[in-house]
Structure 1
């Protein structure tokens, strides 16, 4: 039976234990804490499970978190997919195919994109997901500069939290295409105790820069979000150059990693977004699972979906897309 945790909330512990076992999650960490945005009670309606009534077991789980990517006035609706797990005894029976296909069909008209994080690129290609976006991994392993003081999000007073929120919304949400964070989203971030927050202050004691390091078992020692005042980007990067930084990029040279796996949902949503983004130069005309057709400055093109997604989101958009391509920034705080 396919259902959700909102109908069976008593299965929450069994579900996150299934996820942790399936992902070989470190025993010292908690998936339900590290990924609170997807595992919190407010999202239980989007925690989809396959339940075996005969054995009273959760056989599989897929979680979805509906978000909005923004850059200034540009907006794009997305569904983040995470916590994908099938109990070992039920693997090889097509349960992942069944559950994921059901959810993609259920929500494909509600969002422009589906996004998930996985190294299993070939597996998810069968469902129409392709790698796109990128970040640069500096792979440094130095010490945190002494000007930055370590704390946690849940230790901030309201003034300091508002300061961090302001830096994120006023600077990062205009420099990059990144996730819009509501007050509720910030409250969920405060629950992620495995992330350390580092702050530097000006002579008046106001926060001028911050960065986030660590999250769960995957991002230990990684700086995955850097906030700064306007025009302070290069200075804070220089301050942190001894640390392992994951920084968003387009077309850079170095140790690049894909940002995630992307699948097109409602093509009309994506069409409208790109029309506005390109000032009318890029018009999508047709889409099938493996092909996208479009007019760019009135010239017709037809390309593989995998190539098209990389034209729009990187890592190496062609020259014709240099003014359209979106530099994505996904913090570990938002990934699921």
Structure 2
């Protein structure tokens, strides 16, 4: 038995074959086409396998992401494609693989790790917790928007430079290159909806689907609110059936605009998050508070608990998972009833931290 370890480059085709058989049995494409930046030779050192006599028994991959936000720049270890061969389940292989991914994330100075799953209890045993915020809107019916002079298209052949320009305007996004955007546009089952100005400039875009995942979900978008609303109305008319738009809680103007339409609004979590390097993250958060003129923020880790608050108004947190939800939400500091009003006002200047990972970055 070998591992957990990184596969050799010569083993990559075998690993992908294992994943395709376990995770993409009905797909006509390789899983590598869905996750072109995760399953590449450049990220081989972040893939983990357990193997025996040349056969892959278990796998997971970690993709480091740099997330920019107004207050903090995060380094996030996104983990996915966790699978163990049916005949070897129940032997702790997935746990070993995940722990090794977390070790790698720590060595690469990630602040947190994140994954997407419905196996909540399994990952809670390793310190992950549902946290962060996601707002989704099910567009039930066609809706009208004020007349706007745009041309709409469903042609996937869009310049990655144009997409990248609008994507980069988001207040919270991951650091990408134009070449990575080009690869993402080629992911199977991806539908690209675009709105164009009369002068030929891209005004708004929306991305639906990502291989076997996110069908019926707009998981990436960019452009001003008015132009996005016009594009969303076009998409609904094109599809002639409900679809869902996913967005971060800090997209307040878009959320308010969507709430005026015939939609179903749902609040959810960004994913399951685990603190990887608390001291590093705490230092970033304290700098963000100081930049807002709040120098007496307390965010400390002790052997058996955390201390959190402002000045002398402090709260003891016994569980790391509770700290995750305080830092990334969803938390109403006033509703907690543990801080003074003036303390809650100060905390809300930075917290919960604006963290969002767009659909193309999920693995």
TM-score normalised over the length of structure 2: 0.79
Structure 2 equivalent of residue 85 of structure 1: 83
Pairwise CA distance, 1:190 = 3.7
Trace 1:103-114 onto structure 2 (pairs within 5 A). Answer: 103-109=101-107, 110-114=109-113
Structure 1 equivalent of residue 99 of structure 2: 101
Query: Root-mean-square deviation (CA), in Å?
Result: 2.7
Picking from 278, 285, 310, the partner of 1:274 is 285
Structure 2 equivalent of residue 149 of structure 1: 153
The verdict on how the C-alpha distance between 1:62 and 1:113 changes in structure 2, with shifts beyond 3 A counting, is same
Which ranges of structure 1 fall in alignment gaps of 5 or more residues? none
Q: Indicate the structure (1 or 2) with the bigger Cα radius of gyration.
A: 2
Structure 2 equivalent of residue 260 of structure 1: 271
Structure 2 equivalent of residue 44 of structure 1: 44
Trace 1:117-128 onto structure 2 (pairs within 5 A). Answer: 117-128=116-127
In 2: Cα distance, 1:187 partner to 1:219 partner: 19
In 2: Cα distance, 1:306 partner to 1:120 partner: 16
In 2: Cα distance, 1:45 partner to 1:29 partner: 24
The verdict on how the C-alpha distance between 1:141 and 1:100 changes in structure 2, with shifts beyond 3 A counting, is same
Question: Which SS does the other structure have where 1:32 is aligned?
Answer: helix
Contact kept, 8 Å, 2:152 with 2:194, in 1: the verdict is: yes
Which ranges of structure 2 fall in alignment gaps of 5 or more residues? 145-149, 237-242, 256-263, 335-343
Picking from 199, 202, 214, the partner of 1:204 is 199
Task: Render the CA deviation track for 1:256-307: whole Å, top value 9, x for unaligned.
Answer: 221111111111220122112222453321156x843223344222223323
Q: Give the count of matched residue pairs.
A: 319
- Range moving further from structure 2, 132-141 or 43-52: 132-141
Contact kept, 8 Å, 2:50 with 2:57, in 1: the verdict is: yes
Structure 2 equivalent of residue 185 of structure 1: 180
Contact kept, 8 Å, 1:30 with 1:216, in 2: the verdict is: no
Question: Which SS does the other structure have where 2:99 is aligned?
Answer: helix
Structure 1 equivalent of residue 228 of structure 2: 236
Contact kept, 8 Å, 2:151 with 2:198, in 1: the verdict is: no
Trace 1:205-220 onto structure 2 (pairs within 5 A). Answer: 205-220=200-215
Structure 2 equivalent of residue 64 of structure 1: 62
Pairwise CA distance, 1:124 = 0.3
Structure 2 equivalent of residue 300 of structure 1: 314
- Range moving further from structure 2, 313-322 or 29-38: 313-322
Q: Would you say 1:222 and 2:236 are equivalent positions?
A: no
